[in-house]
Structure 1
Amino acid sequence: MDDDALQRLGRRVIALRQHKTWSLSFLADRAGIAKSSLSRLEQGKGNPTLDTLWRLALQLDIPFSALIATAQSSVSEEDVSVSLLDRLQGIVPVDIYLMTLAPDAVRYAGAHAAGTRETLQILAGQLQAGPDRALVMLEAEGIHQFEAGQAHTYRAGPQGATVLVTIFYPQGDVA
């Protein structure tokens, strides 16, 4: 993220944390991240990982997209990139992402809110994905839907994978 995006993200985290009347220490502890890391993020410094941002969104009880939308719509690490394509605020709130995984990359995702569903459509490559106890192998053009209220994994094949990820949240579970 560039400096402006980090500043916007920091302000967003502060606003969400203060809205819940939580201290910085309380949120850091709930999210399982160092207080110093959260402090730097709120100051618009550092380079938060995807995992850190997902943990914060989960603890703040908001979709990932609601956290990053004000900063920028794409977050990358060395082997995984996630870009927000759209947020739909209808009766069933929906986030749509494009996720790109490098060859043999693995991304572990924590549980979303109960009742959340994910649909994966493989655009290119191979992907083994789903809840940790029920991974499914998908080829290009393959589609898989699963309950995302449990830990789940994305494991790219030797050519990597490009995936359209659609997350359907329980009614009223957006910010």
Structure 2
Amino acid sequence: MDEVEAALDAVGPRLREVRARRKLKLSDVADRTGFSVSTLSRLESGNRKPSLDLLLPLAKIYQVPLDDLVGAPPSGDPRIHPKPIRRHGSIYIPLTRNADGVQAFKMILPAAKKDVRIPQRAHEGYEWVYVLAGALHLKLGGVVTTVEAGEAAEFDTRTPHGFVSANDKPVELLGLFSPRGEQIHIRDE
């Protein structure tokens, strides 16, 4: 068996494992892709050869790079080339390639306007933030805490939360987010 055949044979089990981690049934994936349950089952069991027209939609639904699904060899270049996302005056820079597991990001929040309201949202997971420069107003539920440069905060993201710059200067922070909800900051007893 050559390298290409071996890589193709490994795609099915990899697809099944990613789907199981996402807690999706074949019927869920079929509904979202338009592929039949039979096609997906044959693909996962290795009875159907994977093709780009099948793998690209699956990579999108599972939120993983295509390289992860096909087991592409590493390029040898460890650098990442993040593409900044601009939203509501803030800049988000993803620092991890994989959306599965802990995600790292850098954020630059604009200077706060006078009497700014802190919008909040809640979702599954756990987050840790470290302020690199400036000061951050972190609102958890109804409590606002100021996190200064060099300080970190961690919280359960099921609690309504939001953050903005604490003053008239932008704030830069690093964040780690775990969608599974495990705590990121480990304390040495």
The TM-score with structure 2 as length reference comes to 0.47
Within the candidate set 86, 90, 103, 1:76 is matched to: 86
Distance across 2 between alignment mates of 1:152 and 1:104:
17
Tell me how large the CA RMSD over aligned residues is: 3.6
Matched with 2:152 is: 143
Question: What is the CA deviation profile of residues 35-63 of structure 1, one whole-angstrom value per residue up to 9, with x for unaligned ones?
Answer: xxxxxxxxxxxxxxxxxxxxxxxxxx98x
Distance across 2 between alignment mates of 1:136 and 1:110:
16
Contact kept, 8 Å, 2:118 with 2:139, in 1: the verdict is no
| Structure 1: runs of 5 or more not aligned | 1-17, 23-60
Asked which structure has the greater RCO (Cα within 8 Å, sep 6+), the reply is 1
Compute the displacement of 1:155 (Å): 1.5
Q: Are positions 1:169 and 2:179 aligned together?
A: yes
Distance across 2 between alignment mates of 1:95 and 1:108:
22
SS at match of 1:108: coil
| Structure 2: runs of 5 or more not aligned | 1-27, 33-60, 67-81, 182-189
Within the candidate set 19, 34, 38, 2:29 is matched to: 19
Compute the displacement of 1:158 (Å): 1.4
Moved more, 143-152 or 128-137: 128-137
> Whose strand proportion is higher, 1 or 2?
1
Q: Any residues of structure 2 matched to 1:18-167 within 5 Å, and which?
A: 19=29, 21=31, 66=63, 73-87=83-97, 93-104=101-112, 108-113=119-124, 116-156=125-165, 157-167=167-177
Contact kept, 8 Å, 2:140 with 2:162, in 1: the verdict is yes
Distance across 1 between alignment mates of 2:104 and 2:90:
16
Would the alpha carbon gap of residues 102 and 94 (structure 1) be closer, same or farther in structure 2, given more than 3 Å must change? same
Would the alpha carbon gap of residues 107 and 86 (structure 1) be closer, same or farther in structure 2, given more than 3 Å must change? farther
Contact kept, 8 Å, 1:120 with 1:164, in 2: the verdict is yes
Distance across 2 between alignment mates of 1:133 and 1:109:
10
Compute the displacement of 1:112 (Å): 1.9
Compute the displacement of 1:109 (Å): 4.5
Contact kept, 8 Å, 2:132 with 2:173, in 1: the verdict is yes
Identity of aligned residues (%): 16
Compute the displacement of 1:143 (Å): 0.5
- How many residue pairs were aligned? 110
Query: Who wins on radius of gyration, i.e. which is larger?
Result: 2
